[in-house]
Every structure is written in C-alpha cells, then in structure tokens.
Chain A
Amino acid sequence: MINFRIIEIIDANTIKVEPGWSFTDTSGREFSDNKVKILGSNISPSDEYAKHRLSSLLINRDVELVNPKIIENNVNGAPVIACNVIVDKTDISYYFPEYSSKTKREVEYH
C-alpha cells in the first residue's frame, strides 16, 4: 500500500496530502492534485470540532487512500477526488461515531 502524509486539514471533510496523488480512471482520464475529500463522511465541512478531531488524529500521520471516486462538476479549487482514508488499518469514519447516520438522529446540539 502506498502511504501519503497529511500536511493540512482544510475543513471537516477535506485534507491535503504530500506527495500529491495521481489517478487514471477507466476512460483514460488522468487526474492529479494534493487535496482529497474524505469518502463516506456525513460531517458538515464547517464543523470546527470535527476539524479539530481530524487534526489531532491525522496531522503528520501517514495514511492510505483507497477506493477513489471522481467528483464530477466540482467547484474551482475544490478536491476532484474522494477516497476512504485509512489510518493504522482503520477507516477514519470509525473515529467519528457520533456522526454516523444512525447516531446523528439521537444527538442534539443546541
């Protein structure tokens, strides 16, 4: 597995990696960048608490990026790819149990 180092948490579901990634899809289109959206994340990008948790977990850690999905019609500057982020053989969503779709309904924030 190829590892990438997380150098910045842009928001609660977007990260910046080093070195950058490259990907060729099934139709031969090539993509490359250093920003990745976290796949399967239900978290709002403006959630500062989730961003803080991502920072404490991921900054300067090596991760694996698997199951890439191209984001079509993305806004200029936004990531073009979404991936599952694996840290220490565990998907990052494991560390956000209160944000899963089942528990989100039970959690109330004032």
Chain B
Amino acid sequence: MKETVDLYAKLVIGTFSFIGPSFTLLIPLFYAAIEKFREKHESQIKNLQKIIQDSMLKEGNFVQQIEVGSKFLKAKVKANKKELNLLDPKRQIRRLFRSLFGAILLIIFYYFQKSHFWPYNYQAIRVTSIALSILSFLYCLHVLWQIFCTIIKAKSEEEKAKPSRNISLKQKKL
C-alpha cells in the first residue's frame, strides 16, 4: 500500500511538471487556429440567437415548428458556449491547476497524517484523503483530455477551411 501511494504521488508530481511546459508550447503554436475557431463559434452563437429572436416575432404562423426549432437551436447555443469556454486558455488552466493542486495537497495531508506531528490515528481520514486526491487527479486528466481534443478540432477546422480544398463558383462577367 505504501509503495502504491508513493507511486501515485510521483505520478501526480510528474503530471504537474509535464503540464507547464506543454501549455507554454501548445498555446502559442495553435493560437491562430484557436482564435479562428473561437470567432467561428461566436458568429454561430450570434446567428442562432438572431434566428431564435426572429422566430419569436413570427410566432402566430408557425407555433409548433417554432417550439421544436427553438429547442434545437437553444441546444446548439449551449453547445457553442461550452466550446467557447474550452477555447479560453486562462479558464482551462485555472480548472487544470486547481484540481492538480487539490490532488497534491491531499497527498501531502495523507503523508502528514502518517507523521508524528498528527496525533490522531483514523484510517478512514487517510483513505478519504487519498480517494479525494485520486478523484481530483482524474478530473485533472479529464480537463487535459478536453483541452487536447479542442486543440485538435481547432487545427482540423483550420485545415478544412483552406481555400485550396474547395472549388467555388466564379462571379458572372457582365
């Protein structure tokens, strides 16, 4: 058990030392793609809100269609806002480091309980602190996964949007 906890502690500290340089490299490398992706989501939200507003003005004629349509459009607005949050680097770093610090502090608390400075001997508290630390660390991994997926999506959208990939119509010469 002692070796397992030591190994887990090393894993958390290793993750902590990996995240700093990764983010320092990733964000400037993909900043342009992230910004374009963010602009796209912002314009999608604006257009969706315009459609919802205009639908309300036409309510008398298409009541049921508006009800059904608004439900889907509002779900799209919600999904876009979630994507925008994922594209905010400061917000994501805060989420990541809060959970990681939480995991580390709980491990430190576990080791402190095993020292002679801690007068009590409750197995339940030690197990709880390790369990909470693991949950915090798993949440941190989940946030990391979300960030990497968002960056990959932003980059692939940038590639898809390149003009050479699509044939477009020309304007008619007058």
Contact = CB atoms under 8 A, between A and B. Distances in A.
A98 B169 contact: no
Contact of B48 (A32, A33, A67, A95): A95
Given A49-B69, A89-B161, A97-B76, A56 B51 contact: yes
Contacts of B75: 97
Contacts of B69: 49, 53, 98
A107 interface: yes
A49 B171 CA distance: 30
Contact of A1 (B48, B54, B62, B163): B163
A88 interface: yes
A84 B66 CA distance: 25
Q: Which 5 A-B pairs have the closest CB atoms?
A: A20-B172, A56-B54, A88-B43, A21-B169, A66-B166
Interface residues of A, number: 38
B51 A90 contact: no
A31 to B, nearest CB: 9
Contact of A90 (B43, B54, B72, B169): B43
B166 A109 contact: no
A48 B169 CA distance: 28
Main DSSP-derived SS at the B contact region: helix
Q: Which of A36, A95, A103 has the most CB of B within 10 A?
A: A95
Interface string B21-53: 000000000000000100110011001101100
Nearest to B37: A89
Interface of A: 1-2, 4, 19-23, 32-34, 36, 48-49, 52-53, 56-57, 64-68, 81, 83-84, 87-90, 94-95, 97-98, 103, 107, 109-110
A48 B62 contact: yes
Given A49-B65, A52-B62, A34 B44 contact: no
B116 interface: no
B4 interface: no
Contacts of A22: 169-173
A23 B170 CA distance: 6
Contact of B51 (A36, A53, A107): A53
